[in-house]
């Protein structure tokens, strides 16, 4: 692995569902530490692209590699262990479980105690569980969720649910964090807080982030580079300034407003 190996390299990746090419020939590279936006009108294929990256769908064309290692065909849980973690456009928390348990579950792959040790309550079980609990509580403090540790996830207000989902994704210890429209449904103040949070975690966890956002203005503010997807294809990529003035992008978004 050389110094300039991109963290994520997507090479002509795509997927078709029957006749529909939901994502097609997408080339994308992320360098370590970047915060990059992925925008596009509704139905452009952004979420589907995340599903390709995380192994929910296996690409029917092209390849995806993380740190130079090919990920095609790995099960989603393996890809998470390799270092890609995500949030969902429609929040998917473990809603009947507590805030604390939601985060502990993300720590599961780090657990060293076996099923046998848990069943027989061996010392390694208690040590492992205690370590997980302490780590999770410590972690939730960063997200200001330590006052609702034993609350069921579904009882949290919307903004906190979004925050918990991000916390949970980060607990899985990713190199690359994928955020799928994290600001959807938020009011301007919540959106501001969210953007601050993203900046904070990026610093603190030495992360690379790919952010899907429907709202172009929001992405323009925080991202260094932006990719634009329309009808499953990349139509542009560049700095916010370049994207703002790109006629193809303007057309794609205008087209959406008209329809």
Partner 1 sequence: MKSSKHAKGFWLSIVLAVIFSIVMQFLISGGTLNPFYVNTLFSIGINIILAVSLHLIIGITGQFSIGHAGFLAVGAYMSAIVTMKLALPFPVAILAAGMAAAVAGLVIGIPTLRLRGDYLAIATLGFGEIMRIVFLNIDYVGGASGMTVTHLTTWPWVIACVLMTIIVIVNFTNSTHGRACLSIRENEIAADAMGINTTYYKVMAFVIGAFFAGVAGALHAHNFYIIQPGNFGFLKSFDILILVVIGGLGSMSGSVFAAILLTIISTYLSNYPELRMVIYSLVLVVMMLFRPQGLMGTKEITAFLKMGKSAKGGSHDDGKHTTA
Q: Which residues bind Mg ion (CB under 5 A)?
A: 46-47, 89
Positions touching ligand ADP (CB under 6 A) are: 17, 20, 22, 40, 42-48
First-to-final CA distance of the chain: 47
A 10 A CB-CB count for 251 gives: 12
Confirm if 146 and 140 have CB atoms less than 8 A apart: yes
123 binds partner 1 (CB under 8 A): no
C-beta closer to partner 1: residue 169 or 183: 169
- DSSP state letters, 107-124: TGGG----HHHHHTT-HH
Whole-angstrom Cα distance, residue 233 to residue 131? 45
Please provide the size of the chain in residues. Answer: 259
C-beta closer to ligand ADP: residue 20 or 199: 20
C-beta closer to Mg ion: residue 31 or 89: 89
Q: Closest approach of Cβ 247 to Mg ion, in Å?
A: 24
Q: Which two tokens stand for residue 93?
A: 């928390």
Q: Closest approach of Cβ 39 to ligand ADP, in Å?
A: 9
- Give Dmax over CA atoms of the chain in angstroms: 66
C-beta closer to partner 1: residue 9 or 168: 168
Q: Choosing among ligand ADP, partner 1, Mg ion, none, which partner's interface includes residue 95 (Cβ < 5 to 8 Å by kind)?
A: partner 1
Give, in order, the Cα–Cα distances in Å from 107 to each of 34, 131, 134, 173: 25, 10, 11, 8
133 binds partner 1 (CB under 8 A): yes
C-beta closer to partner 1: residue 164 or 183: 164
Q: Closest approach of Cβ 16 to partner 1, in Å?
A: 21
Q: Choosing among Mg ion, partner 1, ligand ADP, none, which partner's interface includes residue 43 (Cβ < 5 to 8 Å by kind)?
A: ligand ADP
């Amino acid at each position: 692995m050389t110094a300039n190996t991109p963290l994520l390299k997507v090479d002509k990746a795509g997927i078709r569902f029957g006749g529909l090419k939901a994502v097609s020939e997408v080339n994308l590279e992320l360098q370590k530490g970047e915060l990059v936006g992925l925008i596009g009108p509704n139905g452009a294929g952004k979420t589907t692209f995340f599903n390709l990256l995380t192994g929910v769908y296996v690409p029917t064309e092209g390849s995806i590699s993380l740190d130079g290692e090919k990920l095609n065909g790995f099960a989603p849980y393996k890809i998470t262990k390799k270092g890609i973690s995500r949030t969902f456009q429609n929040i998917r928390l473990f809603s009947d479980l507590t805030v604390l348990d939601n985060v502990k579950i993300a720590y599961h792959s780090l657990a060293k105690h076996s099923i046998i040790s848990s069943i027989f309550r061996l010392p390694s079980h208690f040590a492992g569980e205690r370590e997980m609990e302490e780590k999770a509580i410590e972690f939730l403090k960063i997200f200001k969720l330590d006052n609702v540790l034993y609350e069921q996830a579904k009882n949290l207000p919307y903004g906190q649910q979004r925050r918990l989902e991000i916390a949970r994704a980060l607990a899985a210890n990713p190199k690359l964090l994928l955020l799928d429209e994290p600001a959807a449904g938020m009011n301007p103040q919540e959106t501001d807080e969210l953007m601050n949070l993203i900046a904070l975690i990026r610093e603190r966890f030495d992360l690379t982030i790919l952010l899907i956002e429907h709202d172009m203005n929001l992405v323009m503010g925080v991202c260094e580079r932006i990719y634009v997807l329309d009808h499953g294809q990349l139509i542009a990529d560049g700095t916010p300034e370049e994207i703002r003035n790109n006629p193809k992008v303007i057309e794609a978004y205008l087209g959406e407003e008209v329809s």
